[in-house]
Amino acid sequence: MNKNTILATLGVIGALIVLVITIGMTTTNGEINQNQSVLTAKANISKEEQRRVDLFNNLVDSIKSYNNYEADTQSKITDARSKATNGNVDDAAKTLSVVVERYPELKSQKNYQQAMREFSITENRLSNYREDYNSAVRNYNIYVSKFPKKQILSLLGVRPQHYDQLDFKVDNKKATNLFK
């Protein structure tokens, strides 16, 4: 064999080695990107699940506050009637006018309405994040199943992911009041 043939053969072998290494690196990096998309989608669902718990607790607090206010309002109206029946019409009128003035500005009712809007928004976000998760898993599985990526990644132990029914445990103790 002549010197030029040996150099050409070594050049071709070197180029093939560089090509294999480049394909391996880009395939591995692509798998990492796809996997991160799946993990991000899971994290978004987890975040919204916690938001849902926060909103639910705020909704309950808002209803309790509204019920307390209604009971207080009813008590003041009964008191005003009693005063009027006993002949103390001026005091009755003052008590009743305070109740009427405060009633339109019922903060707990506004909080309730806001919580319901936020709850609806959160449910829509959860739906979108679940779709994103399913899409990310599908894209990941397509990526790791294509030739030659499947062969390269299977050497590294990478397998397609399963569509998990995500059941996130949220901490009810961490619920925050969104209306303060």
Note the pLDDT tens digit of each residue in 30-63: 999 999 999 999 999 988 888 888 888 877 777 7
The pLDDT confidence band at residue 173, using thresholds 50, 70 and 90, is low
CB-facing half-sphere around the CA of 139: CA atoms within 13 A: 17
Question: Above 80 in pLDDT, residue 100?
Answer: no
Amino acid at 157: G
Note the pLDDT tens digit of each residue in 123-142: 899 889 999 999 999 999 99
> How long, in residues, is the chain?
180
Q: Distance between CA atoms of 117 and 101, rounded to whole angstroms? A: 26
Using alpha carbons, select from 137, 114, 117 the residue that is nearest to residue 39.
137
Asked if residue 61 lies in contact with residue 177, where contact means CB atoms within 8 angstroms, the answer is yes
CATH, range 3-162: 1.10.287.1700
Helices then strands (H, E): number in the chain? 4, 0
- CB burial class (10 A; 0-12, 13-18, 19+) of residue 14? exposed
Question: Above 90 in pLDDT, residue 73?
Answer: no
Q: Distance between CA atoms of 83 and 59, rounded to whole angstroms? A: 36
pLDDT at 26: 94
Encode 144-178: b = buried (16+ Cβ within 10 Å), e = exposed.
beeeebbebbeeeebeeeeeeeeeeebeeeebeeb
In terms of pTM, does the model score above 0.75?
no
